[in-house]
A and B are shown apart, each in its own frame.
Chain A
Amino acid sequence: MERKKFSNLGEIKNLELKYPKLYSKKIFYKMCKIRFFEEEVKEAHKKKLTTPLVYLSIGQEAVSTGVSFQMQGSYVLAQHRGHGPYLAFNGNPLSLRDELLGLKSGCCGGKGGSPMIHDIKKKIIGHCGLIGDQVPVAIGLGLVKKGKKIVCFFGDGAAEEDYVLAALSYATQNNSQILFICDDNDLSVLTPTKDRRKWRLTDVAKSFGLNAVDITDDPWLIDYWTKKFKNFLPALINIRTCRDVWHVGSGKDNSLDWNRFEITKKKLSRILKKDEIFEIERISKLWAKKVWKM
C-alpha cells in the first residue's frame, strides 16, 4: 500500500547505534509496558469487563515512548487515544485500569472512561472527548504556567479542526513552550488523509512559524527530534504510525502496513542480546498481568 512508504520517513541510518545501551533498553521497556498493558485491556474488552468505548493504540507505542524521555516532567495533554501518553509519562496504571473498568477508584471515578483519562498529580491533564480540544487548552495552560514545558498529542484528523489550526498559529504569537505531537496514522476513523485534505500539517505549521518535521515512528528518531526541538519551542513533530486495532474497541481488520514493534526489536538486536530483549518483554508482560490481575 501507498502508506508503507511512511515506514522509514526521515530515518537516520544507524541512529539506534549512537544511543547508550541502557537508554535503548529503557525505550524498549516503556514500549513493552504500554503494549502489554493494552493487550490486557484488549482481552478485558473482549470479555466485556471494560466500559464499551475503549481507544487502544497497539502498534503506536513508539510515539509516546519516543517523546517521553526528553520531555519528562512536562505537562501532558493527550486526546481520546491517551493510554500511551498516560503510561509513558508515568500516569498511575491502577487508576487507569480502574477507570477502564468503570470503577470509583478510576482516575475519573469511572465517569470518563478511556477517552478522558488524566493523572493531575503527574501533570497529565484530562481530555473532554472532542478531538483537538486539548490543543487550545494547552496554549492556555502555557499562558499561566510560564516557563513550564508542555507536550500536546493529537491525531491527523484533529489536525483539521479549525480550532486546532487557529491554536497552532497562536502558539508562535504567544511563544508557547509546547511540543505538539501529531500521531498520524493517515486515517480519520477509516477515511484516509488524501480524501480529507490537500495540505501537509508540517507545511502549515512551518508557515505559522513553528519548527516542524515529518518522520516515521522510530522511537530513537522521535527521541532525536524531541531533543532537538525541546529548547526551540513551539515545535511540531508529525509522526507516521499505524495501529493494529480498530478506531474504537478491540477488533482488528487488516494487517499492519508496518510493524514498529518488530522493527524496533530487530534494530535492538544490533545492540542487545536476544536474551536481553526477551527478558524485557517477559518482565513487561508480567507487570501488565499483575496490574490486570483482579
Chain B
Amino acid sequence: MENVAEIIRSLTKKHLDKGSIIIGQCLTAVGWVQNTIPDQKKGIVELSMTDTAGAGIAVGAAIGGGRPILVLRFQSLLWLNSSPIVMHAAKCKEIFGYSCPIYVRAIASESDSGQGPIHANTYHSIFAHMPGIVVVCPMTPREFKTVWKKYLNSDDPFLVSEHRSSYRINYEINDIINQNNATTIIAISSARLETLKAIEILKKKKFDVNLINLVWIKPFTLSKSQIDCVKRSKKILIVDNSYEFCGVANTVAQMISRKFKCKTEVLGLREYSPGVAKRFENGTPTANQIIKKLKSF
C-alpha cells in the first residue's frame, strides 16, 4: 500500500498533468517537500520568498479557476500567509458570489525535531475560527484521497492541516467503538498516533477505551456510529496537537457536552512556546500524558 507522501505526490501529479498548478517556496529543493511533490516541471510554480504575497498569488490563481495547491512547508508560515486566505479566499463566495477553491497544504512538524519556537506546532484552530473555509486534518492514505476528492467537488477553500508524522503512514487508522466502553477519546491529527499507543497500554491493563478519529474539523462532522458512540459514553476526552485555549478541542468538547450532556475534557499543547532544547519541548500530547489525563478525569 502506498504511504501518505506517495498518495499526495500521485494526486498532485494527476492534478498538474491536467493543467493545474502547485505554488510554494523551494518546492523543488531538498527533499521535494518530504517527497510529496512530483519530479516534473509542468505545473510547479516556484514563488519568490514572499509569504503574504505568495498566498495572494495562489488566491488569484484560484479565482481564475486554476484550483491551485499552495504548499506551506511549516504551519508557522500560516501566520504570514493567513491574510489572503481568510480575508479574501474564505470570503469570496459569501461576499462576491463567486468561488475561490484553493487547497492549502499547511505542514506541521513535531516539537521534538528541534524546531523549537519557530517551526513546531499546529495552528488549524485559528483557521477553524473563520467562516468560509474548510479545515481538515487527514492522517492516512484513504483520508487524504477522500479530502482531495471532496476538494475537487467543492468550491470552498480548504485548509489541510497536514502533519509530517503522517507521511510514512501506509495503513488506515479506524475508529475503535465498543458498546461496553464508557470512555471515548476523540483524537485529532498527530494526536491520533499517540492516542493509539495510549489505548494499547490501557488495553493491557484491562481498560478499554473507544477511539474516534476526527478528520473534518470544519464543518465539524461525525458519522452516525461516532454520534452513537458519543451518546453512550460517560466520559469523553478530546486530544489535539494545537493549543487548548480557544482551540478546536475545546470547541468540540463544548459542542458535544452541550448536545449530548456528557462529561468532556481536553488535552492539547501546554501554554508555552516550545524551545529547541529538549527540556522545552511542547509537542503532541504523548500516550503517557493522555493516560494521565484520563485518570484525572
Contact = CB atoms under 8 A, between A and B. Distances in A.
Contacts of B48: 166, 169-170, 173
B63 A133 contact: no
A112 interface: yes
B64 A141 contact: yes
Contacts of A120: 96-98
A216 B267 CA distance: 61
A143 B96 contact: no
A111 interface: yes
Given A108-B96, A170-B50, A136 B57 contact: yes
A137 B95 contact: no
A170 B21 CA distance: 17
Nearest to B45: A143
Interface in A156-193: 162-164, 166-167, 169-170, 173
B114 interface: no
Contact of B57 (A130, A162, A167): A167
Contacts of B21: 143-144
A144 B68 CA distance: 9
B63 A140 contact: yes
A130 B85 CA distance: 12
Nearest to B47: A170
Contact of B63 (A111, A125, A135): A125
Interface string A205-236: 00000000000000000000000000000000
- For chain B, give the interface size range: 20 to 34
A277 B200 CA distance: 87
B221 to A, nearest CB: 27
Nearest to B64: A144
A142 B52 contact: no
Interface in A109-143: 109, 111-112, 116, 118, 120, 125-126, 128-130, 133, 135-143
Contact of B95 (A116, A142, A145): A116
Given A130-B87, A133-B88, A170-B50, A140 B58 contact: yes
Interface in A241-278: none
Contacts of B128: none
Given A166-B48, A166-B53, A136 B60 contact: yes
Nearest to A117: B96
A128 B57 contact: no
Contacts of B57: 136-137, 139-140, 143, 167, 170
B43 to A, nearest CB: 11
Contacts of B60: 136-143
B97 A170 contact: no
B66 A137 contact: no
A137 B84 contact: yes
A166 B68 CA distance: 20
Contact of A109 (B52, B59, B84, B97): B97
Contacts of A142: 60
B275 interface: no
A95 B45 CA distance: 37
A137 B56 CA distance: 5
* Listed residue (B23, B47, B52, B57) with the most chain A CB atoms within 10 angstroms of its CB: B57
A140 B87 contact: no
B78 interface: no
A140 B62 contact: yes
B97 A108 contact: yes
* Listed residue (A108, A112, A144, A167) with the most chain B CB atoms within 10 angstroms of its CB: A144
A111 B84 CA distance: 18
B24 to A, nearest CB: 13
B288 to A, nearest CB: 44
Nearest to B98: A120
Contact of A136 (B54, B87, B91, B98): B54
Contacts of A144: 21, 61, 64-66, 68
B222 interface: no
* Listed residue (A109, A116, A136, A169) with the most chain B CB atoms within 10 angstroms of its CB: A136
B35 interface: no
28 contacts: A111-B94, A112-B95, A128-B87, A130-B83, A133-B88, A136-B59, A137-B56, A137-B57, A137-B84, A140-B23, A140-B62, A140-B63, A140-B68, A141-B61, A142-B60, A143-B57, A143-B60, A144-B65, A144-B68, A166-B48, A166-B53, A167-B53, A167-B56, A169-B48, A170-B48, A170-B50, A170-B53, A170-B57
Given A133-B87, A163-B52, 4 more contacts: A120-B98, A136-B54, A140-B57, A140-B68
Interface of B: 21, 23, 45, 47-48, 50, 52-66, 68, 83-84, 87-88, 91-92, 94-98
Q: Which 5 A-B pairs have the closest CB atoms?
A: A140-B60, A136-B56, A166-B50, A144-B66, A137-B60
